Structure 1
Amino acid sequence: MEAIMIKQLKLGILNLMSNKLESIDHFNQVFKETGMPIKITYFYPKGHYLGREIPTEVKENMEPLELEKLQALDGFIISGSPIERHDFEEVTYIQEVRDLLSYLDEFVPNQLYICWGGMVALNYFYGIEKQILPRKLFGVYKQTISQSSKLLQGLTPGFLADHARYAEMNLNQIQANDKLQVVATTEENHLFLVEAKHKKQAFLFSHLEYDKDGLLKEYVRESEAHPEITYQKPENYFEDTETLTGTQYKWQQTRQVFFSNWMKQVAENKNVRRNYHEKNRKVS
């Protein structure tokens, strides 16, 4: 790849996580680690707060989703959300998300959809169905690579990634769709990464943005919200599962490699678009 001369890359993130500030901190650290000059704008769906007051932490750190603000962005991410057990039609802001997906498809060339973001995007663009898992996929697992991808350059088969979800997209439907390719899965065929073949769309089913204690905090959030339920503990994560101590950051390298590769792709595409427009101006 030729040298990339970029002053600043502009990203937008629709932050749907319940722990908004912590999620912002996660993504800020992720992109700081890439070493690239990046400006991130965080958005929230307006429909999520209809008829109720917008929390101060949201108003002070995020912007309402306005599609006309997005055309100048170089890339966009839709985060995960702890709503994967709900039907898409039950989500109060689903039409707002679908309008966003339509806009991104036309105006923003680099799209990354994480966990629930990947589910709703695969369903919207390609009609892939969501299925509830018999038990939560929760922990750190080895991944198998089935297709080469620039996003996985620097990773070898068996690389580790964290997973935390109650639902999965239909693998058979994805494999049967000639516009999609399954890039990597867990050893038990749970999705890690799906890519569109002819668009810069990546569907990541791992919370790679989580820091070392991300899985622990998710477990604690669920347990405290519903103390009457005995929740599954994340697997292959604690040094001592009984006491929930000794969290192990086994996916750190994967996180750094993946997001660095994605940002290189964003920068490369920005360079290509800039050179194309400059060439056209000279011709005209």
Structure 2
Amino acid sequence: MPLKLPDQLPAIELLKKENIFVMDDSRAHMQDIRPLKIVILNLMPLKITTETDLIRLLSNTPLQLEVSFMKLRSHTPKNTPIEHMMMFYRDFQQMRKERYDGMIITGAPVETLDFEDVTYWDEMTEIFSWARTHVTSTLYICWAAQAGLYYHYGVPKYQLPKKMFGVFPQHTLQSKLPIFRGFDDVFQMPHSRHTEIHREDIEKQHELSLIAESPESGVSIVMAREGREFFITGHLEYAPNTLDKEYRRDCGIRDDVDLPKNYYKDNNPSNEPLVTWRAHANLFYNNWINYYVYQATPFDINTIR
């Protein structure tokens, strides 16, 4: 089944060019199916890019998904047209009485700030608490993963001397979990962050399970509440050229960013990126939707607790 997306969402035409089958609201209403409701809280500056990256991965499931976009009332994005935000996004306050089968909370360019110094921290914590009673399973990505672990479990973050930047091999630590069904023992994941969390802090919390990590990039995926929460420190959703764009944006401007590791062919930025994470990215999101959303969510969405 394809995804059910808002009419005129830019991602629809972008993904059709990649031969990915999506459909808008008008066509979806013709199908007598209860779609899984997925909400994305998109905190990234380039909203349309992030929308497209996530929808690309969600499109691989055989289930019909209805995707909605949430925004913060306490923060106004600077890099996305206001018309786009008004057409496709709703404030959390407008959505707080609704329930969702799955939720994705993206990273945000605020990781070097203390959590409490983020201008929208109060609203974020309200959403974190709300998700526990209104969503079957939630994916926290990058900064959101660090923020969620800090808020729910008191796990601190630590400043890195240089940006963790590139594509790094990750090792599955609990390979029999459904989220890793079909995975190899080692898989690749892009990382782009200035802070990290430590294994020993995860291990202090008996409610948390470290399920994937890397010798170089550290803690990778943490699971809680039997899969109702996943905290992912990297970016499986990244498009092939995302790290390249970040590198060229920051090159010569910042002194804490090196060439992204394990990314360009022959480690030469004049060459094309070598995409090594796409298959496992699709598998991860497909497993999440199937085993932790579809098979765990109640038939009556209003009974989610």
Q: Output the TM-score relative to the length of structure 2.
A: 0.81
Structure-1 residue corresponding to 2:54: 27
Q: 1:189 Cα deviation (Å)? A: 5.9
Structure-1 residue corresponding to 2:237: 209
What stretches of structure 1 of length at least 5 have no aligned partner?
A: 279-284
Give the fraction of aligned pairs with identical amino acids, expressed as a percent. Answer: 29
Structure-1 residue corresponding to 2:213: 185
| Distance (Å, rounded) in 2 between the aligned partners of 1:105 and 1:25 | 26
Pairing 1:1-284 to 2, within 5 Å after superposition: 7-49=34-76, 55-66=82-93, 68-69=95-96, 71-148=98-175, 149-188=177-216, 190-198=218-226, 200-223=228-251, 227-230=252-255, 231-264=257-290, 265-270=292-297, 273-274=298-299
| Distance (Å, rounded) in 2 between the aligned partners of 1:215 and 1:166 | 14
What stretches of structure 2 of length at least 5 have no aligned partner?
A: 1-31
Q: 1:221 to 1:16 in 2, by over 3 A?
A: farther
Q: 1:210 Cα deviation (Å)? A: 0.9
| Distance (Å, rounded) in 2 between the aligned partners of 1:43 and 1:275 | 22
Q: 1:194 to 1:243 in 2, by over 3 A?
A: closer
SS of aligned partner of 2:299: helix
Query: Contact 1:6–1:267 (CA<8 Å) still a contact in 2?
Result: no
SS of aligned partner of 1:246: coil
Query: Contact 1:18–1:81 (CA<8 Å) still a contact in 2?
Result: yes
| Distance (Å, rounded) in 1 between the aligned partners of 2:87 and 2:122 | 25
| Distance (Å, rounded) in 1 between the aligned partners of 2:253 and 2:104 | 34
Give the stretch that moved more between structures: 169-178 or 189-198. Answer: 189-198
Q: For residue 258 of structure 1, what is the amino acid of its counterpart?
A: F
Q: For residue 248 of structure 1, what is the amino acid of its counterpart?
A: L
SS of aligned partner of 2:238: coil
| Distance (Å, rounded) in 1 between the aligned partners of 2:189 and 2:66 | 26
Q: CA offsets per residue over residues 32-57 of structure 1, 9 Å max, x none? A: 1223211111111111129xx97333
